[in-house]
Amino acid sequence: MTATDSAPALVTERSIDPLGFEVPSTVPTHWYNLAADLPQPCPPALHPGTREPLGPEDLAPLFPMALIAQEVSTERYVEIPQTVREIYSLWRPAPLIRAHRLERALGTPARIYYKYEGVSPAGSHKPNTAIAQAYYNKLEGVTRLTTETGAGQWGASLSLAGALLGLTVEVWQVRASYDAKPYRRFQMEAYGGVCHSSPSELTEAGRAILAATPDTTGSLGMAISEAVEVAAEDPEAHYSLGSVLNHVLLHQTVIGQEALEQLGDVVPDVIFGCAGGGSNLAGLTFPFLGRNLREGTTTRLVACEPAACPSLTQGEYRYDHGDVAGLTPLLKMHTLGADFVPPPIHAGGLRYHGMAPMVSHAVNLGLMEAVAIDQDTAFRAGVEFARAEGIIPAPESTHAVAAAIAHARAATTDEVVLIGLSGNGVLDLPSYGAYV
């Protein structure tokens, strides 16, 4: 299926103009930038050839200048464009829910809350940055976006953004997830996106990988190489990344800012968020971390990663490429190595060899903790949560749920536990098959 085969776009060249309706005041007006409050600056990204810090001109072939500026900004707050806020208002503010029934099921005195991002049109937190990235690319005159996706939540979200803002979207999905999650591909195509299994025969990087390892299940690093290669060869195209980079994490902070407002005077004792590339985790925790740094609060922040891809708990903190082919900048991050191919675990959105540089930096400074959760424990927790609260969590989210449940079971006080429920699992039900 090609972009021209898709249903006709219902957008115009003026898709980025605000519609002019009043956006509720509860929808954030600014993104929060942790770089303004860190005690030490995050190490810069390096040019893969010269190993010198990247300049704007190095990133211009892949990203619009507005996103490049956000990538290196140290301003505490960045204003959200009105058009983006209008689209956010379709589902934002996302609900913060007290998990009374889960508390009763666990027999815990702890007060458990969850911030639920599964109410977005795509079913996850990913549209928070997909809409912003599509907006800035459209503003610069770009007509086509390429990207990678694991479980498919990011590919679906960018396809949604392309539909709303008038951009063609082409996605390379990790083969293991492409084969196991056909409904994600159908979701992308319903929004007008085009999805390829990765590695593919469509790119030089993909052909080289298949020649060397024809039976590979794929990886996000491989899919990134393919998407970057295609974008770099098309002057009307840019590449969009769903996690890892600073500007992506910035856009996700609407999650934590809303949670701060919704909790009011209640200060969480501990927050659990799932961690793959780091965008969901950062979106929820960075506003709380900023408050810790500015005001002296002591909320614990726990990154919950899959034991099958444990970059924070077992990886090295060093400079590494974000992709297999070495086309991306060198990033200082916790990494298992760019050539690491994780097993095809069900939580496809967490199958990335590295962690966001800013999350890695926070962990390295002792501002955030990390735990690794095995797949069986995660899915059992997902089922337990679903039977108590009614929401089937995305496989990625179950890692945070599992860590939170273990913590709450051991609690002896009415401490406050906050869970980041990054998405719903309604298109991931086959993954639950062995656990129900």
How buried is 308 (Cβ within 10 angstroms: 0-12 exposed, 13-18 middle, 19+ buried)?
Answer: middle
- Where helices occur in 41-89 by DSSP H, the ranges are 56-59, 65-72, 82-88
CB atoms within 10 A of CB 149: 32
| Helix residue ranges per DSSP H, 200-278 | 204-212, 220-232, 246-252, 254-263
Asked whether the beta carbons of 3 and 195 are under 8 A apart, the reply is no
Q: Which amino acid is at 198?
A: S
Other residues' Cβ atoms within 10 Å of the Cβ of residue 17: 10
What pLDDT does 149 receive?
92
| Type of residue numbered 312 | L
Please list the residues that pair with 147 across neighbouring strands: 171
**Which tokens sit at 282?**
């950062």
Has residue 37 been placed in a domain? no
The pairing of strands 330-335 and 316-321 is antiparallel
Round to whole Å and give the CA distance between 350 and 361.
Answer: 19
Q: Decide if 39 is inside a domain.
A: no
Dihedral, CA of residue 404, residue 184, residue 320 and residue 301, to nearest 10: -20
107: in domain: yes
For the chain, 436 residues long, give each residue's pLDDT as a single digit of tens: 344 444 444 444 567 999 999 999 999 999 999 999 999 999 999 998 899 999 899 988 889 999 999 999 999 999 999 999 999 999 999 999 999 999 999 999 999 999 999 999 999 999 999 999 999 999 999 999 999 998 899 999 999 999 999 999 999 999 988 998 899 999 999 999 999 999 999 999 999 999 999 999 998 889 989 999 999 999 999 999 999 999 999 999 999 999 999 999 999 999 999 999 999 999 999 999 999 999 999 999 999 999 999 999 999 999 999 887 787 889 999 999 988 887 777 776 787 889 999 999 999 999 999 999 999 999 999 999 999 999 999 999 999 999 999 999 999 999 999 999 999 999 988 889 888 8
In whole angstroms, give the CA distance from residue 83 to residue 91.
14
Helix (H), strand (E) at residue 133: helix 127-139
For residue 426, is it within any domain?
A: yes
CA distance 144 to 297: 44
209 located within any domain: no
Q: Collect all residues with Cβ–Cβ distance below 8 Å to 349 and sequence separation of at least 6.
A: 150, 151, 153, 154, 276, 394, 395, 396
CA nearest 278: which of 185, 205, 398, 362? 362
Q: What is the CA radius of gyration of the chain?
A: 20
CB neighbour list of residue 258: distance below 8 Å, 6 or more residues apart: 26, 28, 92, 93, 94, 96, 115
Residue 140 lies in a domain: no
What is the residue type of 370?
A
Q: What is the dihedral of CA 424, 426, 432, 436, to 10 degrees?
A: 100
Asked if residue 278 is part of any domain, the answer here is yes
Which pLDDT value is given to residue 309?
Answer: 92
Q: What is the pLDDT of residue 14?
A: 65
The candidate with the shortest Cα–Cα distance to 410, out of 119, 30, 109, is 109
The whole domain housing 283 covers 86-123+246-435
From 220, 156, 230, select the one nearest 189 (Cα to Cα).
156
| Domain membership flag for residue 72 | no
Q: What does the pLDDT read at residue 10?
A: 45
Total domain count for the chain?
1
The CATH number of the domain holding residue 350 is: 3.40.50.1100
Do 76 and 37 meet the contact criterion of CB atoms below 8 Å apart?
A: yes
Please state the separation of Cα 297 from the chain's center in Å.
26
Q: Which of 277, 265, 432, 254 is nearest to 350 (CA)?
A: 277
List CB contacts of 208: < 8 A, sequence separation 6 or more. Answer: 325
Q: Strand 168-174: give its sheet, edge to edge.
A: 194-198, 168-174, 144-149, 237-239
Q: Is the pTM of this model over 0.75?
A: yes
